[in-house]
Amino acid sequence: MSSAQPATIEQMKQNPYKPLLATIEEIVEETWDTKTFRAVFQDEEMREKFTYKPGQFQEVSVFGVGEATFCLASTPTRPGSIEFSVRKVGSLTDALHEMSEGAVVGIRGPFGNWFPYQEWKGKDLLFIGGGIGMAPLRSLLNFCLDNRDDYGRVDVIYGARSSDLLCYKTEFDAWRNSKNTNLFLTIDKEEEGWQHNVGFVPAYLNDLAPKPDNTIAITCGPPIMIKFVLQNLATLGFTDEQIYTTLEMKMKCGVGKCGRCNIGHLFVCVDGPVFSYAQIRGLPPEF
């Protein structure tokens, strides 16, 4: 794949540890513990030139607190700013959640590989997301919808424990209204006024029974969901090569040096985070 990211790659190659400064322009409260941040680079040239591919991640700094890894939840087809969704789970994410619009963060990236979307042209796509795991899928989904004619049918199965834990609600209509695109929502337990499916994501997948022919399935969510989604996809006839996911490992440097995200001879930050299930099967079971 050709490199279409001269400005950032150039800067990151000089010093991948030096963040680019960015200002938080918008904060969306997705759920009680998850916010989506839209950041704009302070450097005007970088604002224009910063580009990335769906599936890649970045390291976000809160200066004085530290850094954490977040996937890019926005799509490069909508340049000018980047977005990442943050669930409150520790000191760094706490600090991010306390930030207001106008605050300064540092951004390093984009790092890692990406979904091989160019190879998927002409194919049907099946997105299966759970909770905050929708973030990397959202990047790819919006990218594909912005290049709608490149892909066939797009089905999105998205679930959460309850309706208030679904992220990106404001985009649901845009997804539904795209050409040849379907959104299937599900929650674990019955709720008053809920008009969509009730049940776990893997079970809903079985009910919908998508056909594997010429289809790529992309899944991301809690490990337990992924485990059963993979099983059910196999039962539905999907091969390991037709299934993609992203792996989560502790990261620090993002560029394959610090050693934390090492699984077998691969580094999730360099060789991932996107893997086909066929690749994952070849890795030591340590993620």
Partner 1 sequence: MDKIVTKDNMAAWLRSLREKYEMIGPVKRPDGAPEFRDIDMMPPGIIPGGIEVALDNAAWLMPPKDYLLPPTETLFTYDEKDQAEPLKVPLAGDKPRLLLGLRACDARAIRVLDHVYLDGAFADPYYAARRKGMVMVGNVCDEARWSCFCTSVGEPVEWLKDLDAVITDIGAGFVVTANTPVGESLLDSSYLSDPSDQQMNLKVAAWDKLAAIPKRPFADKLAKDFLAWDDPIWEKYARKCLGCGICSYLCPSCSCFDIQDERVAGQIERFRCRDTCQTCYFTLMPSHNPRPEKKMRMRQRLSHKFKYQPEQFDIIGCTGCGRCVELCPVNLDIRQALAEVTPNE
Q: Which of 27, 46, 198, 249 binds partner 1 (CB under 8 A)?
A: 249
Distance CA 169, CA 165 (A): 10
CB of 213 or CB of 286, closer to partner 1: 286
Assess 4 for contact with partner 1 (CB under 8 A): no
Assess 282 for contact with partner 1 (CB under 8 A): no
Per the DSSP assignment, residues forming a β-bridge with 185 are 158
Contact between 127 and 220 under an 8 Å Cβ cutoff? The reply is no
Assess 281 for contact with partner 1 (CB under 8 A): no
Q: Which of 63, 147, 214, 235 binds partner 1 (CB under 8 A)?
A: 63
CB of 80 or CB of 284, closer to partner 1: 284
Task: Output DSSP code: residue 260.
Answer: T
Q: Which of 28, 40, 77, 106 binds partner 1 (CB under 8 A)?
A: 106
Could you give phi then psi for residue 42, rounded to 5 degrees?
-70, -35
Cβ of residue 248: shortest distance to partner 1, in angstroms?
7
Cβ of residue 108: shortest distance to partner 1, in angstroms?
10
Assess 278 for contact with partner 1 (CB under 8 A): no
Please give the C-alpha separations between residue 185 and each of 41, 101, 180, 181, 243, in angstroms, as whole numbers: 34, 31, 17, 13, 20
Residue position matching structure tokens 């540890």: 17
Please name the helix (run of DSSP H) or strand (run of DSSP E) that holds residue 36, with its range, or none. Answer: strand 34-41
Cβ of residue 7: shortest distance to partner 1, in angstroms?
15
* Bond prior to 273 in cis (omega within 30° of 0): yes
Distance CA 96, CA 108 (A): 16
Per the DSSP assignment, residues forming a β-bridge with 129 are 158, 220
Q: How many residues bind partner 1 (CB under 8 A)?
A: 39
Binding to partner 1 (CB under 8 A): which residues in 206-235? 222-223
Footprint on this chain of partner 1 (rule: CB under 8 A): 12-19, 21, 61, 63-67, 89-90, 106, 222-223, 248-250, 252-253, 255-260, 262-265, 270, 284, 286-287
